[in-house]
Amino acid sequence: MTFEREIFGLTGPSFFTAIDWNNSYHKRSIAASLVQGVYILERDRQEKRQGPQALAPPWWQHFNFKLNQLLIDNHDLSYFGAIYEFNVPYPYPNYTNQRPPQYLIAFRGTINKPGNRAQDLKLDLHCIINYLQDSRRFEIGIESAQNVISRAGQCNVWLAGHSLGSSIALLIGRHMAKNTGIHLETYFFNPPFASIPIERIKNEKVKLGLRFANSVLTAGVAAAAAAAAKRGCGGSKAQANDPFIVLSSWIPYLFINPNDPICSEYVGYFEHREKMEKIGAGKIGKLATKHSIWSIVSSAMGKNSEATHLIPSAYLSINCSSCDDYKEAHGIHQWWKLDLEFKYKLYQYK
């Protein structure tokens, strides 16, 4: 079965005739299209569409990319990611003042269909409880990223993902920045935020009160846990090992729709940190922004305590345009539309 949204000529940004790699709209649209290419690669596999019948290739060929490698989940044999290579010999003679990526690594999100549903929904749960870093998809993704970076260099490699794929890309970007100092250019579309979506509450006073109470509780529990676990450690050592300080100079691009409960909490997460500074509670806000209650509980149980969906810095792009339903608000197709109304903000942890 073929759906209209799978056909590039009908629903993709086929109106691109010339690409400006200094244009943020062009870069966002291309990254989103290559992520969509991974979705269609998996759909082609399921529907046994090959050769001229395959619908995936136009999603990258239109932008002068070629498929370099498929990333395959060995549990269900699905295509969950792809490595694309810019199909112009490097260095790029026609892009003197621009810098296209030599490689772009893209990850799809959940496909709620037979053949994908069981494994994808299991990983969605792992994402919520902060165990995604133990998945085979992350292992394959990080190994592939390291191999590509070793060949091309970090400045020539981008990461991109949508929904669950954003969580995988986020883990890879965090790992590279924290452990190797490599800062990859990264595009997260509708990245999941593992929390109750307080941002969806319309009453601003109620929303602020809930956030403040949550920050005080989280900061208090985190401080108590840190004191118990690190008694006798010097403050300078704790500062040196603070992942937020290490990660603060890595600034990924986040694309959020406030009508999408899966990702909307990133809006409040960053805005609330600034509000805590303004009301003189910056220390509480900074401590709370590093932790989740679940991460603290996991630490007490001797498991990985880092809340991997929390990041110190980001270029936040909020789609303020109206949408018909949740499916549209969470969809990848919105990110290459021409008539979007955006709100942009750079948040950098200091």
Say whether 11 sits in a helix, a strand or coil.
helix
| pLDDT digits 0-9 by tens, 306-341 | 678 889 999 999 999 988 888 999 999 999 998 889
Which of these ranges, 47-56, 112-121, 192-201, 247-256, has the smallest mean pLDDT?
Answer: 192-201
User: Percentage helix, strand, coil, to 5, in the chain?
Assistant: 50, 15, 40
From CA 55, how far away is CA 278, in angstroms rounded? 51
Say whether 149 sits in a helix, a strand or coil.
helix
Amino acid making up residue 94 = N
From CA 192, how far away is CA 334, in angstroms rounded? 17
Instruction: Kindly state the helix (H) or strand (E) to which residue 86 belongs, with its residue range.
Output: strand 79-86
**pLDDT value of position 339:** 86
The domain limits of the chain are 4-189
Question: φ, ψ for residue 291 (rounded to 5)?
Answer: -130, 160
Contact (Cβ atoms closer than 8 angstroms) between residue 188 and residue 254: yes
- Environment class of 224 (CB within 10 Å of its CB; exposed 0-12, middle 13-18, buried 19+): exposed
Residues 6+ apart with CB under 8 A from 186: 158, 159, 160, 169, 170, 173, 252, 253
Residue 103, pLDDT above cutoff 90: yes
Residue 236, pLDDT above cutoff 50: no
Contact (Cβ atoms closer than 8 angstroms) between residue 244 and residue 313: no
pTM above 0.85, yes or no: yes
Contact (Cβ atoms closer than 8 angstroms) between residue 207 and residue 197: no
Contact (Cβ atoms closer than 8 angstroms) between residue 214 and residue 288: yes
User: Which pLDDT band holds residue 34 (cuts at 50, 70, 90)?
Assistant: very high
